């Protein structure tokens, strides 16, 4: 029905359907219609006031079988659909609602999670991981081929520091036993000692230079640190139910940085500054982009440039998205500008930094140096334990308790993060994250379970003909209106790189279903009415499952 309205407007306004699609809105309230067309943008081209344009369009469209009536409200032309036709349209074509082929034949690379090797996977890393995974699912829903890339921070001077610390204060036994926790202890110890003895920093730089030059001992210790770290990170990913297509860390590009330097040199972009090699970006109001340090070693900007060229040549991406903290905004602006200056016009639209707010622990910023950290795995396990306790209290006879506790506990963490706009800072508080009331993931999961329970207990023939005139109750129409927003919500989430659009959609559907459930009894004696309402329950269940899946959240059938 939306497509029919778009076609009507395109004919009446003599505009392309794509333009109409971009402008057409779903009003926030039912009394404002099912769809609203704002006429502001047409004022310049048609040389008329927006209210006059709205009235003209209404007259041109006239009487149409799917439209109950049209209403001109200021600059808006509001469409009120015939309820029964709206219900029939929704109920019959919403099985795979939200899916699209818009991305067919196109590839999107998403660079996310990317923890620094030998440092713990803390609550701060959860944000990039959760947001990136949700974007992967959203773009996949739209038909894109998505390459999930974990660009591990597994190269750089910090490994020189770690080798110095390991040799001075560590042991193989302690590292094997404690893993990343011991590597973190050594890293913190290095910075404490380096404040007293600056020569330790020189030693660290020397060890990293040896790594870059292929020194066997340096690389052997480094690879050991990488293997230990990745093993622990994969345990956290398993808890989250997430996977990656590629673990291509910074080290993967170390033999590709020479080509970057050559490209920049050949293009006349490389300049010397205090012994280092840079690209001057003063003309673009940015600090210079450091390409090579004065000791000849590469820096992460060089490796990021090498990664971009590798990804473009390997996957010919439509877009390459970088889900990292807001503090890296300048870094990516510099790197993207350098790619563009090399004559790659695609860099302007294809390379996108997707920042998110900081994470703090009761107001204190998390830091790998100070030790004021909390492990992501600990958070997830704590949430699962709390979910298990609630199950023991509320539903002790539940089957698959551990599996359900994992779905609910992890879901609570994911929903807590994704419900708010990604750019906002998150203050991590146990009582808020693990609250199972209100606008939370467990509430939406419980609504899904309620739908599943109805479908198990109420007689229902999926093949039975449905009398859609029986679903004209205010609450049923309101629920269908919420569900009808799903395709647009998926598109909006993709265009804005904003999973919170999906989280809020899921919450709106859950709350709307609760109102429907309380007002419209499902298991009634009238077979036709029961069949119609049960089918709406089934549609709600499918929609909630699909929406939560886009957030990386699983739906248990019982809670």
Q: Which domain CATH number covers 239?
A: 3.40.50.620
271 found inside a domain:
no
User: Which stretch of 122-126, 321-325, 369-373, 383-387 has the lowest confidence by average pLDDT?
Assistant: 369-373
pLDDT at 41: 85
Full domain range(s) for residue 201: 112-255+299-365
pLDDT at 158: 92
Domain boundary among 64, 81, 98: 81
121 found inside a domain:
yes
pLDDT at 235: 94
Among candidate residues 22, 24, 18, the one with its CA nearest the CA of residue 5: 24
102 found inside a domain:
no
327 found inside a domain:
yes
Work out the angle at residue 523's Cα, subtended by the Cα atoms of residues 521 and 527, and round it to the nearest 5 degrees: 115
Residue 175 and residue 75 in one domain? no
Containing 354, the helix (H) or strand (E) segment is strand 351-356
Residue 322 and residue 226 in one domain? yes
Confidence of residue 362 (pLDDT cuts 50, 70, 90): low
Domain boundary among 324, 348, 365: 365
pLDDT at 463: 75
pLDDT at 428: 65
282 found inside a domain:
no
CA 413 to mean position of chain CA atoms = 14
Residue 76 and residue 192 in one domain? no
pLDDT single digits (tens) 463-508:
778 899 999 999 999 999 999 999 999 999 999 999 999 999 999 9
Residue 251 and residue 345 in one domain? yes
Residue 404 and residue 348 in one domain? no
CA 33 to mean position of chain CA atoms = 31
Higher pLDDT residue, 367 or 271?
271
Residue 422 and residue 538 in one domain? yes
Confidence of residue 123 (pLDDT cuts 50, 70, 90): confident
| pLDDT at residue 368 greater than cutoff 60 | no
Q: How many domains, in total, are found in the chain?
A: 3
Residue owning tokens 């009394």:
31
Q: How far apart are CA 125 and CA 132, in angstroms?
A: 11
pLDDT at 169: 97
Residue 408 and residue 357 in one domain? no
Domain boundary among 32, 63, 81: 81
What is the average pLDDT score of the chain?
92
| pLDDT at residue 404 greater than cutoff 90 | yes
Which tokens sit at 228?
């230990």
382 found inside a domain:
no
225 found inside a domain:
yes
Residue 431 and residue 508 in one domain? yes
Residue 218 and residue 327 in one domain? yes
Residue 504 and residue 361 in one domain? no
Residue 312 and residue 434 in one domain? no
Residue 247 and residue 138 in one domain? yes
pLDDT single digits (tens) 8-25:
999 998 888 988 988 899
pLDDT at 435: 67
97 found inside a domain:
no
pLDDT single digits (tens) 222-255:
999 999 999 999 999 999 999 999 999 999 998 9
**pTM of the shown model:** 0.90
Which tokens sit at 192?
């404490």
Q: How far apart are CA 211 and CA 275, in angstroms?
A: 21
Return the CATH number at 8: 3.30.1360.70
Sequence-distant (≥ 6) Cβ neighbours of residue 422 within 8 angstroms: 127, 131, 354, 355, 356, 357, 497, 498, 499, 500
């Amino acid at each position: 029905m939306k497509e029919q309205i778009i076609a009507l407007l395109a004919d009446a306004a003599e505009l392309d359907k794509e333009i109409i699609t971009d402008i057409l809105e779903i009003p926030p309230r039912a009394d404002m219609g099912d769809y609203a067309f704002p006429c502001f943008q047409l004022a310049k081209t048609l040389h008329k006031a927006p209210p006059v344009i709205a009235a003209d369009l209404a007259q041109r469209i006239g009487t149409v079988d799917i439209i109950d009536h049209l209403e001109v409200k200021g600059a808006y032309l509001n469409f009120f659909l015939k309820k029964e036709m709206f219900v029939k349209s929704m109920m019959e074509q919403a099985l795979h609602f939200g899916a699209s082929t818009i991305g067919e034949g196109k590839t999107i690379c998403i660079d996310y999670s990317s923890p620094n090797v030998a440092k713990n996977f803390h609550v701060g890393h959860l944000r990039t991981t959760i947001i990136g995974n949700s974007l992967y699912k959203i773009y996949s829903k739209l038909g894109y081929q998505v390459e999930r890339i974990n660009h591990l921070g597994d190269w750089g001077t910090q490994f020189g520091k770690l080798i110095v610390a390991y040799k001075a204060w560590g042991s193989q036994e302690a590292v094997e036993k404690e893993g990343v926790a011991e590597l973190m202890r050594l890293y913190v110890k290095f910075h404490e000692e380096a404040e007293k003895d600056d020569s330790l920093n020189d030693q660290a730089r020397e060890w990293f230079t040896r790594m870059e030059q292929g020194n066997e001992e340096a690389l052997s210790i480094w690879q050991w640190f990488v293997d230990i770290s990745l093993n622990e990170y994969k345990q956290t990913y398993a808890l989250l139910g997430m996977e990656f297509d590629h673990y291509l860390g910074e080290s993967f590009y170390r033999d590709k940085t020479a080509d970057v330097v050559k490209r920049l040199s050949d293009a006349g972009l490389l300049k010397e500054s205090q012994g280092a090699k840079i690209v001057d970006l003063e003309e673009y109001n940015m600090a210079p982009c450091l390409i090579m340090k004065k000791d000849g070693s590469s820096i992460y900007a060089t490796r990021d440039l090498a990664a971009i060229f590798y990804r473009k040549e390997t996957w010919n991406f439509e877009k390459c998205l970088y889900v990292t903290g807001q503090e890296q905004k300048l870094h990516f602006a510099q790197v993207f500008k350098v790619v563009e200056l090399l004559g790659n016009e695609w860099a302007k639209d294809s390379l996108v930094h997707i920042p998110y707010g900081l994470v703090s622990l009761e107001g204190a910023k998390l830091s790998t140096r100070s030790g004021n950290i909390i492990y992501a795995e600990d958070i997830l396990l704590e949430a699962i334990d709390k979910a298990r306790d609630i199950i023991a209290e509320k539903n002790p006879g539940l089957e698959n308790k551990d599996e359900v506790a994992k779905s609910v506990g992890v879901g609570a963490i994911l929903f807590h993060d994704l419900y708010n706009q990604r750019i906002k800072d998150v203050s991590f508080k146990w009582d808020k994250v693990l609250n199972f009331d209100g606008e939370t993931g467990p509430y939406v999961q419980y609504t899904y379970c309620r739908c599943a329970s109805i479908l198990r207990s109420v007689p229902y023939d999926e093949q039975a003909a449905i009398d859609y005139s029986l679903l004209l109750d205010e609450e049923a129409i309101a629920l269908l209106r919420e569900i009808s927003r799903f395709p647009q919500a998926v598109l909006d989430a993709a265009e804005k790189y904003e999973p919170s659009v999906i989280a809020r959609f899921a919450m709106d559907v859950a709350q709307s279903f609760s109102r429907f459930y309380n007002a419209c009894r499902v298991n009634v004696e009238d077979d036709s009415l029961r069949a119609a309402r049960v089918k709406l329950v089934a549609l709600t269940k499918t929609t909630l499952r699909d929406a939560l899946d886009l957030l990386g959240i699983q739906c248990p059938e019982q809670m």
